[in-house]
Amino acid sequence: MATSIYDKKEFSLVDGTSVIAAPLKIKYLREFLEIFDTIKEAQTDDESISILVKCALVAMKQYFPNIKTIDDLEDNLDLPTIYEVIDIAAGIKINEKSEDTVKSQAVDSGSSWETLDLAKLESEAFLIGIWKDYEDLEQSLSMPELTATIKIKRELDYGDKKFAAAMQGVDLDKNSGNSNEWEDMKARVFSKGKATDGNDILALQGRNAEKAGFGIGMGLDYETY
């Protein structure tokens, strides 16, 4: 049974300092992804790595604020650790031993806002009323925290509606045709926009696959034509 919304991970600086990290808060993830998106224009691995180094520097604002410049970053993290940082920050996986280019690996595994209506999700979460403004919300929540918060809010709202309907003799579970909306949205997130709905096999990736007990990356593969 899962006991946390996301896993915290540890990486070490060159001097041995241990840093505990987790998915980036939305405030930093915005900046991270704006830089990351420019990797599509990179022509060489060196250019791609330079962009990923800039992304890692953004992540340091959350993980280790004493690292403020590219020089600071390169003095404190070697390249494998930089790859580890961008994986923790945004799920971008780079394998140094892969025959694929750094750019192709990054683009294939990278995150994007394109498949997600972030403004709508933030507006829904904001209705809870515990943040003073949207900047406060983005400083407080990572994407896993935002989606978990909205999931619980929707479940509570539905529970209230179900109770009120039951008092009128109506079974919402039986009559509702929109029960899969949340699962469809999660499927698009897990598959980075490739899945069309919650029943699509492409949704079974990463943590979603782990919860299901199988999936892409866990013995089940697929080909894109």
How would DSSP label each residue in 61-92?
HHH-TT--SHHHHHHH--HHHHHHHHHHHH--
**Which three-class secondary structure state does DSSP give residue 129?**
coil
Q: How far is residue 213's CA from residue 204's CA, in Å, rounded to a whole number? A: 10
Indicate the residue type of 36: F
Task: Report pLDDT for 216.
Answer: 42
Torsion over CA: 10, 98, 60, 193 (sign): negative
CB count within 10 Å of CB 120 equals 11
**Which three-class secondary structure state does DSSP give residue 3?**
coil
Q: How far is residue 197's CA from residue 183's CA, in Å, rounded to a whole number? A: 7
**Which three-class secondary structure state does DSSP give residue 142?**
strand
Task: Report pLDDT for 48.
Answer: 95
Structure-token match 């209705």, residue found? 127
Which of 158, 92, 152, 162 lies closest to 125 in space, CA to CA?
152
Task: Report pLDDT for 76.
Answer: 97
User: Per-residue confidence of the chain (225 residues) as pLDDT tens digits?
Assistant: 456 777 889 999 999 999 999 999 999 999 999 999 999 999 999 999 999 999 999 999 999 999 999 999 999 999 999 999 999 999 899 998 889 999 999 988 766 666 667 888 899 999 888 999 999 999 999 988 998 898 888 888 888 887 787 777 777 666 565 545 556 666 666 555 556 555 554 555 555 554 544 444 444 444 444
CB neighbours of 205 closer than 8 A, spacing ≥ 6? 190, 191, 215, 216, 217
CB count within 10 Å of CB 45 equals 11
Q: How many Å is the maximal CA-CA distance in the chain?
A: 67
Q: How far is residue 54's CA from residue 68's CA, in Å, rounded to a whole number? A: 11
CB count within 10 Å of CB 65 equals 8
Please state the domain extents for the chain: 9-109, 118-212
Task: Report pLDDT for 46.
Answer: 95
Task: Report pLDDT for 132.
Answer: 93
> What is the b/e burial string over 121-148, where b = at least 16 CB atoms within 10 angstroms of the residue's CB?
bbebbeeeeebeeeeebbebbbbbbbbe
